[in-house]
């Protein structure tokens, strides 16, 4: 048996609620794992697996609750029920490094994100270091960065930074790339602390119907992250469509 419980912390709740109200697509749950009655701790994989299970069960519950609210009673029996296929989930965890997790929209060496331009036709679909002026001369070659990243991580279909910052309908954090980048960095600092010390797993996204929307085009993501600074296990799920 593993002792795992959700961390009840008002700042965690406030930060996740604020992000959600801004249109964010990432859903996060934060847990702590402690010794069982024998004084034993789970091995690394088991700790991440139980975090993945708890995170997914929470999202399944929220999905089913939503279905029950929006569908008329006579249609509910025809609606698919969100539930976990443990035969797919349990063996699927793969340990990844922090660069793979964050994706190519983050310069790990300099601890800076690349933020999509917000101000006009010349910069709208370009990317910039968040702490530089949004002008054409400051564009980064995001295509080259992406190619180099994909050469290192050919199986990676998306990273946390892009997922966090670019949901289907945008995350409403204002037009200043500096403020957008600072919001992201502050959020990451709170939940992840020291990036170099994280332990990260990625998980199967065929194990529940909650991942179906993202398969249309935007993507679906499922990670667990251990933050040893705070002794937090963080479950992260995202799956959206337009």
pLDDT digits (tens, 9 = 90+) for 131-147: 999 999 999 999 999 99
User: Is 70 exceeded by the pLDDT of residue 30?
Assistant: yes
Q: pTM here?
A: 0.92
| Axis-axis angle for helices 177-192, 10-21 (nearest 10) | 150
What tokens were used for 205?
Answer: 């996204």
Here the tokens at position 99 are 């660069």
* pLDDT given for residue 113 in this prediction: 98
158 pLDDT above the threshold of 80: no
Q: Domain of residue 161: give its range.
A: 3-239
User: Number of structural domains, the chain?
Assistant: 1
Mean pLDDT, the chain, integer: 91
pLDDT tens-digit readout, 85-121: 999 999 999 999 999 999 999 999 999 999 999 888 7
- DSSP 8-state symbol, 18: H
């Amino acid at each position: 048996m593993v002792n795992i419980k959700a961390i009840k912390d008002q700042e965690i709740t406030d930060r996740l609620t604020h992000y959600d109200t801004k249109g964010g697509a990432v859903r996060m749950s934060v847990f702590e794992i402690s010794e069982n009655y024998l004084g034993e701790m789970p091995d690394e994989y088991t700790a991440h697996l139980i975090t993945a299970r708890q995170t997914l069960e929470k999202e399944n519950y929220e999905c089913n609750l939503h279905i029950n609210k929006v569908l008329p009673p006579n249609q509910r029996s025809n609606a698919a029920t969100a539930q976990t296929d443990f035969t797919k989930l349990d063996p699927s965890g793969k340990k990844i490094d922090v660069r793979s997790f964050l994706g190519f929209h983050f310069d790990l060496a300099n601890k800076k994100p690349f933020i999509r331009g917000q101000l006009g036709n010349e910069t709208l679909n370009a990317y910039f270091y968040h702490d530089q002026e949004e002008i054409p001369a400051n564009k980064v070659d995001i295509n080259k960065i992406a190619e180099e990243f994909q050469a290192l991580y050919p199986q990676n279909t998306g990273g946390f930074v892009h997922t966090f910052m670019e949901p289907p309908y945008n995350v409403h954090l204002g037009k200043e790339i500096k403020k957008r980048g600072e919001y992201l960095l502050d959020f990451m600092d709170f939940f992840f602390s020291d990036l170099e010390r994280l332990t990260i797993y990625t998980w199967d996204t065929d194990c529940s119907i909650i991942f179906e929307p993202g398969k249309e085009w935007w993507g679906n993501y499922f990670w667990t992250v251990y933050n040893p600074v705070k002794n937090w296990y963080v479950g992260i799920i995202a799956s959206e469509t337009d």
